[in-house]
Amino acid sequence: MPPPCRYHEAGERCPHGLHCKYYHSPRRGAALVRCQFYDHGHCRFGPACQFLHSDEKPVCHFFSRGQCRNGAACPFSHEGPFGTEGSVCHFFLKGECRNGETCRFLHQQSDDQQTRSRYNETIDSPKKLAMFLERLSRHKGDKFCLDALLEQKGSLRNFIRDLGVCELAKLFALLGRCGEVEKQKYEQLIGALSTSLIIGAPRYIESISGEAQLVACTRVLVDAARLNRNFARQVPVVRLVNKSNNLGVKNETLEGLLMRLKIHKDSGRLSLYRVLGTPQKGG
């Protein structure tokens, strides 16, 4: 066997090509480097090219992340373990997919993926909590959001009162989405946050500008009052009614929620009377 070609071993194109008297190992040097001209369909050296000519294209780095703009014209493969439309979107797993329902990847999780992908970061300030809520509000998976909020219930409870109205809006919207996912987990979350939610609600209610926001906020407060009878008396029912009147909302669902909220508020007063031993009117 002749000695190895120094050009080929160095990963360079051998000027002698197939006529080189030295050995060109197919496992070394330039043979492992893909020919960019062949990948684009016009290598002028043909079989004499010392770079790799293979129809097995490498997976497109951008396609695997849902960002390839070249589509069918892309010279790289749009297939493989990470580049198929049947694979799970890794942005979705992190709660950061901006493509939403138009994403070509799956927005779903296995049990193991749910466990690995939850937010288990340390939130030790209102600023970090605001950033957490911003990212989570972009996530399309309601179950994912519920699990993430539940993991951070301690931080939420500590810093809700320090949030601005924009962050409170995101929080109430997220809680409104989570109410229909898993009742037990949802009630565990609302029970842990009920006092802070009721205290923080007045500031948020003043900023509400739409019917959907008002309904979502009222629904969350109904659950907070139901799960925290001792603090239910502090629920800002009058503010909610006034906001409904100011917005001109005529919504049977909202009216029903407000009625339930008044009942919980009155029950909270009765509970307080019983605890303090205060005489009740007519009793």
- The answer to whether position 276 is within a domain reads no
Q: What is the pLDDT of residue 220?
A: 94
The answer to whether position 281 is within a domain reads: no
User: How many domains, the chain?
Assistant: 3
The answer on 168 and 186 residing in a single domain is yes
User: Does residue 222 share a domain with residue 127?
Assistant: yes
> What range defines the domain where residue 148 resides?
121-267
Q: What is the pLDDT of residues 72-126, one digit of tens each?
A: 667 667 664 444 445 667 666 666 666 766 676 666 654 444 444 445 678 889 9
**In this structure, are 69 and 144 located in the same domain?**
no
What is the pLDDT at residue 64?
59
**Lowest mean pLDDT across 58-62, 125-129, 163-167, 210-214:** 58-62
Q: Which two tokens stand for residue 281?
A: 């009117």
Whether 274 is in a domain gets the answer no
Residue with tokens 């939130």: 123
Vertex 196: Cα angle to 195 and 202 (nearest 5): 105
Q: How far is 277 from 283, CA to CA, in rounded Å?
A: 12
pTM assigned to the model: 0.57
Q: Residues 6 or more apart from 131 whose CB is under 8 A from it?
A: none
| Same-domain status, 91 and 176 | no
Which of the 8 DSSP states describes residue 262? H
- Residues 46 and 73 both lie in one domain: no
pLDDT digits (tens, 9 = 90+) for 27-62: 544 445 667 787 777 788 776 676 777 666 666 656
108, part of any domain: no
- Same domain, residue pair 65 and 146: no
More confident of the two residues 186 and 59? 186
pLDDT attached to residue 231: 83
pLDDT at position 139: 81
**45 neighbors 25 (Cβ within 8 angstroms):** no
Confidence band for 213, pLDDT divided at 50, 70 and 90: very high
Residue 67 pLDDT greater than 90, yes or no: no
* 9 plus 139 within the same structural domain: no
